[in-house]
Structure 1
Amino acid sequence: MFDWQMIAIDESATVREALTVLDQQAMQIVLVVDEHQQLKGTVTDGDIRRGLLRGETLDSLITSVANKSPTVGYESETEIVWRQHIKRRSLRHLPILNDNKQIVALYYHKTQSTPRRNNPVVLMLGGLGMRLRPLTETIPKPMLPVGNQPILETIVKHIADQGFTEFYFCINYLGDKIRQYFGDGKQWGIHITYIEETKPLGTAGALSLLPEPAKSVDEPLIVMNGDLLTKVDFRSLLEFHQEHKNTVTTCVREYSHQVPYGVIEMEGPYINQLVEKPIYRYFVNAGIYCLSPGALGRIPDNAFFDMPTLVDDVIADGQNSGGFPLTEYWMDIGHIPDYEQAQADYEVYFK
């Protein structure tokens, strides 16, 4: 059994602190305990996502998103009973308590294999990388090294580990270097089909060039920019997309901005309120999408078309367009400081 203390946090901790534990320990659960080691709740990435959607923030107390009545097992029970708890409730983890309600162990179900998924994965790799010059003068941005391998290789390995095998690489600028490195993808246990853009097509236009096998698959597509480092659980993204019957689901990330001045709200010549250095929080586009097959028919053939336009069209037609809050590590490598930060983060999140 796993050393539960590695994933335990105090009930006074924040959502942000819980996310750090989820990322670093990769056990998909955090245990919330009090000073006497009594279990006060459990937290998964799904709990945090639901909390963010209803208005909680990364600085909220972890108790605001925790499951305060989790299923538990007891030290006096046998492992057979623990397995029954897990099976009946489709759980991954079972906290084990003693007679004083103190946690003494974490029992968890070990997945034997990762099921293969037929969902096409489309990676947008054709950008010029102008904001990363001079690094990208001879190397396409997705091929810049982070850690001991290109950014794109880290992306591919992470997605392939979750059972996805059908990849479509949309290439343009220095695309031959990507093709030479990855070939048909066999080395990574995947199959790669290359789509060459002869002109800039925006963040969605290249989807019109997908070959028929990808368009005819009756499964949602994953679409992702090729300059992101992330630990996102794509299986959870698909579950969210299908649960909410979305046509398009956009991954979103919380972004906060503190105004360095006192903000005054006025009505005519009168001040209604003065807020000193307020913090405003937003959800921002994280560059990862899940599309139902029907969404592809909205994209014009071989023409410039951006994802925000697709989202707007879906909303205008009254179809569901969802936002999936990312709780995992995510970094958009758009500028030199981002690239430098990614180098430091790699040792923490991807080794």
Structure 2
Amino acid sequence: MNKYEDILIKPEMTIIQTMKLIDETSMQFATVVNHDRYLLGTVTDGDIRRGILKGLPLDSSICVVMNTTPNYESEGKSINYYKQYMKKKKLKQLPIISSDNRLLYILFSDDLDSVISKPNKVVLMAGGLGTRLRPLTDTLPKPMLNVGNKPILETIIEGFKHYGFTNFIISVNYKKEMIMNYFQDGKHLGVNIEYIEETKRLGTAGALSLINNKLKEPFFVMNGDLLTKVNFEQLLEFHLETESCATMCVREHEYQIPYGVIETNDHELLSIIEKPIHKSYVNAGIYVFSPEVLDYIPTDDFFDMPELYKYLIDSKKNVSAFPLREYWLDIGRIADYEKANWDYTVEFNEGIDA
């Protein structure tokens, strides 16, 4: 994205010179910097045309028409953040500056889709029966239930796409045709989708043995009935930084004992704690695995995630827990489904995450 060098101009440049530059580069945009590359402003074809309508001479300094308070962002944020910022502001270009206001580079919206796409596969488990959500799941597979105005599974896919993960494998079984007909190959959502089919119940990990192509990059596995705002980019970075073969997302769960808890020493009563609250970490149904983990999953056999993790831990493999601090909801029961629809309008409105 070094084409930005072609549209850097000095404040001494005239309107007519800038017009020629903008026409030559076909970008309809230029950035004004001083000799130390401090960002002074930006100028568009529209800015120049408005200046001409005001009767400004064409040999006037570009400073008289430039925007002195342009949209820009600081360095050090994710590409996805910049992309979402540009989308929200309807920008075709975005100057990125250093902490001392020097221009570092310019992002162009046309380039960002190719920059952000990542090779890691995302495996979504969507084959469950959803018995606890009956009668809603008598006619629909659970991942196809609408939350807001779209299926749960579509919101999950959009969440991964938000962070540049666009290659999906969906494991299907119950009412598989409804899922496959809706999502097809994913092109209409801007992603790539493959399918693996469980012809019998294989558990929460067993379906991974059906993946045909050898994976070369760490990959995600996620239950198809979750709503979350987890930063998948940070999750993958954590997995790589800790050099783990398996990373499990965990969340804190509180439960209250509805009685006074007694502490004793033989017959002596030492204390009474009224209705204490206990906290524990529980499995959140989101995982990152290195490709080697697939070698530990039996072929065409029932195998659950707890069994896989127990085997990896017993084998002294490096296994990590990633604590979630973001929104998370397991849509397992009718009450959860009702809460999901209530939460959706607040938690999943389009926004920007750094």
TM-score by length of 1: 0.68
Alignment of 1:125-204 (within 5 A): 125-204=126-205
Farther off after superposition, 314-323 or 127-136: 314-323
**TM superposition shift of 1:297:** 0.5
Larger radius of gyration: 2
Q: How far does the alpha carbon of each residue in 1:157-177 deviate from its partner, in whole angstroms, 9 at most, with x for none?
A: 111121112100000000110
Quick one: distance in 1 between partners of 2:336 and 2:236? 28
SS of match in other structure, 1:208: helix
Contact 1:160 1:188 in 2 (8 A): no
Q: Determine the structure 2 residue equivalent to 1:334.
A: 332
Corresponding residue for residue 294 of structure 1: 292
Encode CA deviations 1:46-90: one digit per residue, 9 max, x unaligned: xxxxxxxxxxxxxxxxxxxxxxxxxxxxxxxx879xxxx965xx4
Is residue 169–residue 194 contact of structure 1 (8 Å, CA) maintained in 2? yes
Deviation of the 1:111 alpha carbon: 7.4
Task: Calculate percent identity across the aligned residue pairs.
Answer: 53
User: Secondary structure, in 3 states, of the residue corresponding to 1:334?
Assistant: coil
Rounded Cα–Cα distance in structure 1 between residues aligned with 2:77 and 2:238: 17
Of 235, 238, 243 in structure 2, the residue corresponding to residue 237 of structure 1 is: 235
Partners in 2 of 1:91 and 1:209 — Cα distance?
37
The whole-number CA distance in structure 2 between the counterparts of 1:320 and 1:202 is 23
Distance 1:320 1:269 in 2: 46
Report how far residue 272 of structure 1 moved.
3.6
- After superposition, the Cα gap between the structure-2 partners of 1:128 and 1:111, relative to the gap in structure 1 and judged at 3 Å, is farther
Structure 2 Cα separation of the partners of residues 152 and 185 of structure 1? 12
Deviation at 1:236, TM superposition (A): 0.6
Letter in 2 for 1:312: K
Q: How many residues align?
A: 251
Write the distance in 2 (CA, Å) between the matches of 1:257 and 1:79.
54
Q: Name the residue aligned to 1:31.
A: none
The amino acid of 1:323's aligned partner reads A
- Looking at structure 1, the residues matched to 77 and 137 of structure 2 have their Cα atoms a distance apart, in angstroms, of 46
Report the equivalent of 2:304. Answer: 306
* Aligned-partner SS, 2:165: coil
* SS state at 2:138 partner: coil
Q: Which amino acid is 1:249 matched to?
A: T
| Equivalent position amino acid for 1:184 in 2 | D
Amino acid at match of 1:252: V
Residues 234 and 91 from structure 1, CA distance in 2 versus in 1: closer, same or farther, beyond 3 angstroms?
closer
Cα gap change, 1:91 to 1:145, in 2 (>3 Å)? closer
Distance 1:318 1:206, change over 3 A: same
1:245-302 CA distances to partner (integer Å, 9 max, x unpaired)?
1111110111111222211123433334322221100111110000111111100001
Q: In structure 2, list runs of 5 or more residues that go unmatched.
A: 1-37, 41-72, 82-100, 350-354
- Distance in 2, Cα, partners of 1:268 & 1:145: 57
**In the aligned structure 2, how far is the partner of 1:208 from the partner of 1:187?**
28
Gaps of at least 5 residues in structure 1 are: 1-77, 94-106
1:206 equivalent in structure 2: 207
Question: Is this contact kept in 2: 1:252–1:284, CA < 8 A?
Answer: yes
TM-score, scaled relative to structure 2: 0.67
Please give the alpha-carbon distance, in whole angstroms, between the structure 2 residues aligned to 1:292 and 1:235. 15
CA distance in 1, matches of 2:107, 2:161: 16
- One-letter amino acid of the counterpart of residue 225, structure 1: N
